[in-house]
Amino acid sequence: MPISLGELATRFGCDLDGDPDIVIDNVASLTQAGPRSLGFFSNSRLLEHLSRTGAAAVILRAEHATDSPCASLITTDPYACFARIATFLNPLPALQAGIHASAVVHSSATVAASAEVAANVVIEENAVIGEAVYIAPGSYIGRDCRIGEHSRLLANVTLARNVSIGARCILHPGVVVGADGFGNAPSADGWLKVPQLGGVRIGDDVEIGANSTVDCGAFDDTVLGDGVRIDNLCMVGHNSVIGDHTAMASMVGVAGSVKIGRHCLIAGQVGIAGHIEICDGVMINGQGMVTKNINKPGVYASSFPVEDVRTWNRRVARFRRMDSFHERIKALEENDS
Amino acid sequence: MPISLGELATRFGCDLDGDPDIVIDNVASLTQAGPRSLGFFSNSRLLEHLSRTGAAAVILRAEHATDSPCASLITTDPYACFARIATFLNPLPALQAGIHASAVVHSSATVAASAEVAANVVIEENAVIGEAVYIAPGSYIGRDCRIGEHSRLLANVTLARNVSIGARCILHPGVVVGADGFGNAPSADGWLKVPQLGGVRIGDDVEIGANSTVDCGAFDDTVLGDGVRIDNLCMVGHNSVIGDHTAMASMVGVAGSVKIGRHCLIAGQVGIAGHIEICDGVMINGQGMVTKNINKPGVYASSFPVEDVRTWNRRVARFRRMDSFHERIKALEENDS
Amino acid sequence: MPISLGELATRFGCDLDGDPDIVIDNVASLTQAGPRSLGFFSNSRLLEHLSRTGAAAVILRAEHATDSPCASLITTDPYACFARIATFLNPLPALQAGIHASAVVHSSATVAASAEVAANVVIEENAVIGEAVYIAPGSYIGRDCRIGEHSRLLANVTLARNVSIGARCILHPGVVVGADGFGNAPSADGWLKVPQLGGVRIGDDVEIGANSTVDCGAFDDTVLGDGVRIDNLCMVGHNSVIGDHTAMASMVGVAGSVKIGRHCLIAGQVGIAGHIEICDGVMINGQGMVTKNINKPGVYASSFPVEDVRTWNRRVARFRRMDSFHERIKALEENDS
């Protein structure tokens, strides 16, 4: 979709430094950009990429305009502006409203006229599919689920039952929401299954990555707030509550009854134990393990970076001899006094 | 389903302290319970929840009956009793016996008359589906698979081939059982695939969480014993054997040819290396890594809880200087002697 | 498929020590092998298994021929030879070329005549399916995807869009390739989705394990080289590039824009942070965390093996007192001088 820099500047509230009639038709990285490309620059360490770019124009902050070899769209937050323009230039394919002949929709379900229900989708009792919702092939919408307007469930997604999803959400392929939580009571006969009777409530503008799972609550609902972002292969356990705009990278495990605040950032492979509370504004570094409440915003960590295996094994051996360090220091101190 | 406390006490072998004609029709947490709700109490730290509950009745141990503001169902194991009553009060929807018109069932497969094969299910050669089995939409049952009576495969489950499942099992959405194990032989031409010729044998009363995977054996079968409980996004590698009633929380990785005993508890994100043996009654704490056999029941751990990142980074730096601690203590000792 | 040792020796370039007319019809482990079985031996620690095997013949190195109680197929690399013979003896079921009546294939897609498109498969615009490709039930092939000859997509696989797969690849059930990468720009309105415009390019002879995910690139493609082997429940983030013949075990997380060299071995549950470069020939031990570039081939590690929980907790407590060790040693040194 070709558009002039002048129109982009107006539409997205940027200042333009350059010819308003220059036309761009795609976004690209600075290193790959061509004569019809728009790039963006925000990381000062990549100044070299900016100076060498072949882009027609670059979105950047005012302070970098003189470093640009081409036209500039000047804004205070280049990455956010870029996200908006890239979205504008790459609209989603239009929906083909209607229910595919191969889809199986229960008579008690409601599907908005503007929704697209693709091939081999199954929709169960009392499900409600909102306006302009897209449900991709192979997805399963269990009983009593509700999907808000403009949300998109991509291929082979499963909503087990009693899942409520807000507007403009994206669930990537293989996501499972609303499966039973892990509730097991020990007994003389082995584990007894504890029925999982709650549902899942997901706010607006939530995105869940491929093959992630969010379990239903035991009694009450599991909750994802507005704007939550979950990467691939994550797990949210039963009754957990994730605050608005919290983001978690791939393979994060959130056990049951966890409460995470708003605007938290959880890096990859972090584990959060059951019944933990984490306040707003907390960042957890990769592979961290959270076993106590966190009441103070900030950055937390508990993992070691790799070293060559000999060095590492020597450190582990020393670590296991710390008791002797302690004893030896004590002995020296006693002699010393 | 309304039922009187008197009938519940009789049916589930509890002593009743209260009016047998009180009728309840749901189970709930103590904090959410209403005048027709039955709760349970077993954790003494939540005594306050008990004293304030709005429940009609609470399942508890005799010692707590006097703390309850309402009727009591008295038993030695409240959580197990609760699991049984909650299951009784929340029966699964009745099966709609038969094969959905959109399902594709091979002529050599056998499906019991009381089983429900839902929309878009595919069942391959020689598969055998037992009485009262439920196979939810989008599931795939490969050749030579057998599913025991009353087992339930939820949406989009895959049994690759040669998978045998016992009675009363539950496989949650997205589970994959019987895919090839990770067998690769190095060669001058790169990796050669080693054919994975075994199957998977799963006992009775096993539950497997959403998007977990259990690979087939290389020669012999991969085995899950009776009553095994596996949470979401777990991996069981080829030829591994998991003993009866062992439970593993989310994101546990069990490599190939591992042997885990009975009644073990494996917490979230634990990793168990290949060819390891773990005896009965072992508990591994979250994110632990098992690289040697464990021959003694007990609790094992190897992970650090998060701390604020400055503190943590200082500790990592100190950890890397332990060599110098060692040298300096040695020097002091030599001077000291 | 019965075959004589003489024919096997000729076909696979082994020396035969034994009767060329002995017929075998299956491969088996040394401990399970019967009178028509062929086993293999390469691990000297299992010499006892060799001496007791009931196999008709064993593939082994010349130095072990005298230890074998039966016929020997002698080769320099028994495991690779075994992989080749096992593949030969266990051919895949023949394809049933054609498109199943329940599959939904877009009119602009191209499906080779020798390909098998199974039940309930959906193929979107402009997809190209090569010769002798197998697409198992429930799989979804998004627009602009290309699948090379003899590749096999097993049940419920999703290729989101713009995914190119080479020849002879295997994607196990539940794999998701080409879903959006995790691109989020912070803004005053919360996270803005950054469109993910790249695709995924996968080389020849690649295998991806069940429920693993490989995201599309943000601009450029995410790339898996030839012969890459990925186990179950792994994640490869957007724009990452995995070199030829690199293998990663289960639950490895590769963040975005990572570059991993050729012939690397990444063990289970390893995490690799974004924008990291790892050179050829690197091995990372289980649960390791990589946060800096690795420029030197070798073995790297950063995880601790489990110990009994009391011992472990004592070590963690000592670890947290290392500051005091430092101070106390310093004080002693000062007194000492």
Residue ranges in chain C assigned as alpha helix (H): 5-12, 47-52, 78-89, 309-319, 322-336
Q: Report ipTM for this prediction.
A: 0.96
Residue A127 has pLDDT above 80, yes or no: yes
Interface test with A, best of C99, C117, C219 (most A CBs within 10 A): C219
CA dist., res. A51 & res. A66, Å (int): 10
CA dist., res. A164 & res. A285, Å (int): 31
pLDDT for position B43: 87
CA dist., res. A248 & res. A269, Å (int): 9
Compute the radius of gyration of chain A from its Cα atoms. 26
Residues of chain B with pLDDT under 50: none
CA dist., res. C96 & res. C134, Å (int): 9
**pTM of the predicted protein model:** 0.97
Find residues 226-285 of chain A whose CB sits inside 8 Å of chain C.
226-227, 229, 231-233, 244-245, 247, 249-251, 268-269
Give the C-alpha distances (Å, rounded to integers) separating B129 from B111, B119, B154, B159, B223. 5, 16, 14, 12, 20
> Is-contact B255 B273, C-beta < 8 A?
yes
Q: Given A106, A238, A275, A326, which residue is catalytic?
A: A238
Find residues 203-222 of chain B whose CB sits inside 8 Å of chain C.
211, 213, 215, 218-220
Residues of chain C with pLDDT under 50: none
Question: Dihedral angle at the C-alpha atoms of B265, B211, B29, B12, nearest 10 degrees?
Answer: -70
Interchain CB distance below 8 Å, A182 and B231: yes
* Residue A44 pLDDT class (50, 70, 90 cuts): confident
Tally C-beta pairs within 8 A across A and C.
218
Q: Which residues of C touch B237 (CB under 8 A)?
A: 250
Neighbours of A51 (CB within 10 A): 12
Q: Distance from CA of residue C167 to its chain's centroid? A: 16
Shortest Cα distance from C156 to chain A (angstroms)? 7
DSSP notation for C193-238: EPP----EEE-SS-EE-TT-EEEPPSSS-EEE-TT-EE-TT-EE-T
Q: Look at residues B257, B188, B193, B195 and name the one whose alpha carbon lies nearest to residue B221.
A: B257
* Residue A337 pLDDT class (50, 70, 90 cuts): low
What H or E segment, with its residue span, contains residue A229?
A: strand A229-230
Strand, coil or helix: B38: strand
pLDDT for position C85: 97
Task: Write out the two tokens for A192.
Answer: 């007894």
> Where exactly does CATH 2.160.10.10 map onto chain A?
98-300
Does the CB of B78 have a partner CB in chain A at under 8 Å?
Answer: no
CA dist., res. B296 & res. B292, Å (int): 12
Q: Which residues of B touch C328 (CB under 8 A)?
A: none
> Where exactly does CATH 3.40.1390.10 map onto chain A?
3-89
Q: Which residues of B touch A318 (CB under 8 A)?
A: 322-323, 325-326
Strand partners, A170: A152, A207
The CATH homologous superfamily to which domain A3-89 belongs is MurE/MurF, N-terminal domain (3.40.1390.10)
pLDDT for position B337: 65
> Is-contact B18 B29, C-beta < 8 A?
no
In CATH, the architecture of A98-300 is 3 Solenoid (2.160)
Percent helix, strand and coil across chain A, each to the nearest 5: 20, 30, 55
